[in-house]
Amino acid sequence: MRFLKGEKHLSDDNHFWISISDLMTSLLFVFILILAYMILATQETKEKADSKIKAFEKNINARTELLQTLKDSLSKNKIIVEIDKDDGTMRITKEKLFDSSKAEIRDEKKWIIEGVTTQLLELMELEKYHNAINTIFIEGHTDNINLNKGHDGFRWTNMELSSQRAINTFLLMDEISDGGLSTLTNNNGQALISYSGYSDTRPIKNVSNGTEEGRERNRRIQFFFAVNPPSMEELLK
């Protein structure tokens, strides 16, 4: 009986160690499952991030192509513009659109705005550019000569002057296009064209307002092409 009793105790100990072993195996299995889930989740997150980056790069590349096409097309019509592919901008700087302290586009320079309008409308009808661009900002800029004179009963400042230059450019472009410019929309059905004034706060890089030539270049109209963020459809591809 003592032998049988001792044998029972030995069997209980075995069961105890078997239970511990099973528990450790289960915990290891759970750990492997968690680790596998984390690896898969990280991989999925990376794939989504890569997809988003690729979709955004697609729009950036389309904008770069648009800027170069605009420049080349306008050059054929003897309209000289400067483009910055990194910033997504096109500048009309050498055509002297404005007199100092004036917001009206010179009559003899309106043909330049007509050429830009025609090319822009034509290119924005193409699906690859329409899908890439969210907003086109018409930006007005001034030199650094401070204004403080009356204009139609109001104090005329550089900020107001630059804004009015942008507005006048938009109005002329819309008139030239018989209202076509103001009806352009982006993929969200919002107005594609906007306008803003920056006074003398954003001179052209390496162009000083310390000379008459530099000030004349900084009195300019600039177009900034803001790209669309990638759509959900693009992200899920």
Structural domain includes residue 32: no
Check residue 151 and give its pLDDT.
53
Does the structure show a pLDDT above 70 at 51? no
Residue partners of 199: CB distance under 8 A and separation at least 6:
141, 142, 157, 158, 159, 161, 162
Structural domain includes residue 45: no
Structural domain includes residue 201: yes
Structural domain includes residue 191: yes
Check residue 152 and give its pLDDT.
54
φ, ψ at 103 (rounded to 5°): -105, -10
Structural domain includes residue 64: yes
| Residue 115 belongs to domain spanning | 59-228
Check residue 216 and give its pLDDT.
86
Q: What percent of the chain has pLDDT over 70?
A: 72
Please answer whether residues 165 and 200 qualify as being in contact, where contact means their C-beta atoms are separated by less than 8 angstroms.
no
Q: Once rounded to an integer, what is the mean pLDDT over residues 78-89?
A: 93
Q: Once rounded to an integer, what is the mean pLDDT over residues 172-182?
A: 95
Check residue 147 and give its pLDDT.
74
Check residue 26 and give its pLDDT.
57
Residue partners of 41: CB distance under 8 A and separation at least 6:
none
**What's the pLDDT tens digit per position in 126-167?**
999 999 999 999 999 998 888 766 555 556 788 999 999 999
- What stretches of the chain show up as alpha helix (H) in DSSP? 2-76, 110-124, 127-132, 158-176, 212-218, 232-235
Q: How confident is the model at residue 2 (pLDDT cuts 50, 70, 90)?
A: very low
CATH number for the domain that contains residue 88: 3.30.1330.60
CA distance 151 to 228: 38
- CA-nearest of 232, 226, 21 to 133 is 226
**What's the pLDDT tens digit per position in 10-21?**
455 554 444 555
Does the structure show a pLDDT above 60 at 186? yes
Does the structure show a pLDDT above 60 at 23? no
Q: Once rounded to an integer, what is the mean pLDDT over residues 37-47?
A: 62
Structural domain includes residue 124: yes
For the record, the structure tokens of 174 come out as 């819309």
Q: Lowest mean pLDDT: which of 45-49, 69-73, 146-150?
A: 45-49
For helices 110-124 and 158-176, what crossing angle results, to 10°?
Answer: 60
Check residue 4 and give its pLDDT.
47
Structural domain includes residue 170: yes
The neighbour count for residue 193, using CB atoms within 10 Å, is 20
Check residue 64 and give its pLDDT.
96
For the record, the structure tokens of 105 come out as 């586009």
* Residue 211 identity (one-letter amino acid): T
Q: Once rounded to an integer, what is the mean pLDDT over residues 178-194?
A: 93
Structural domain includes residue 91: yes
Domain count of the chain?
1
**What's the pLDDT tens digit per position in 223-232?**
999 998 765 5
Q: pTM to 2 decimals?
A: 0.74
